[in-house]
Amino acid sequence: MLKLPHHDRYDFSAIESRPIYDWPGGKRLAFYIALNIEHFAFGSGIGMDPTNRSGPQTQRNYAWRDYGNRVGIWRLFRMLDELQLPATVLLNSEVCEHYPPIVARIKQRGDDVIGHGRTNAEALRGLWESDEARLIGDATETIGRHFGRRPTGWMGPAASESAVTPDLLREAGYTHLLEWPHDDQPLWMRTRAGPLLSVPYPLELNDAGNQVARDHSGREFADMIVDQFEQLLEECTARPLVFALSLHGFIVGQPMRYRPLRRAIEHCISHPDRGRVWLTRAGDVAQYCFGLPPGIIPGSGS
88-91 and 112-115 strand pairing: parallel
3-state secondary structure of 301: coil
Q: How far does the chain reach from its first CA to its final CA, in angstroms?
A: 30
Structural domains in the chain, CATH included, are: 26-42+55-290 (3.20.20.370)
The predicted structure's pLDDT at residue 302: 46
Q: How does residue 215 score in pLDDT terms, banded at 50, 70 and 90?
A: confident
Percent of the chain scored above 90 by pLDDT?
Answer: 85
Residue 131 clears pLDDT 50, i.e. is over it: yes
Q: What is the pLDDT of residues 137-180, one digit of tens each?
A: 999 999 999 999 999 999 999 888 999 999 999 999 999 999 99
Q: What is the pLDDT of residues 63-87, one digit of tens each?
A: 999 999 999 999 999 999 999 999 9
Query: In a 10 Å sphere around its CB, with 0-12 CB exposed, 13-18 middle and 19+ buried, how is residue 165 labelled?
Result: buried
What does DSSP assign to residue 216?
-
Average pLDDT over residues 192-212: 92
> Which residues fall within 8 angstroms of residue 130, CB to CB, at 6 or more apart?
none
Q: Within 13 A of 58's CA, how many CA atoms are on the CB side? A: 11
In DSSP terms, which residues pair with 196 in a beta bridge? Answer: 189
The predicted structure's pLDDT at residue 214: 78
Query: Global pTM?
Result: 0.95
The predicted structure's pLDDT at residue 48: 81
Q: What is the pLDDT of residues 227-260, one digit of tens each?
A: 999 999 999 999 999 999 999 999 999 999 999 9
> Which residues fall within 8 angstroms of residue 19, CB to CB, at 6 or more apart?
295, 296
Average pLDDT over residues 85-96: 98
Cα–Cα distances in angstroms (integers) from residue 170 to residues 68, 78, 134, 148, 150, in the given order: 31, 35, 14, 21, 14
What does DSSP assign to residue 158?
G
Mean pLDDT for the chain? 95
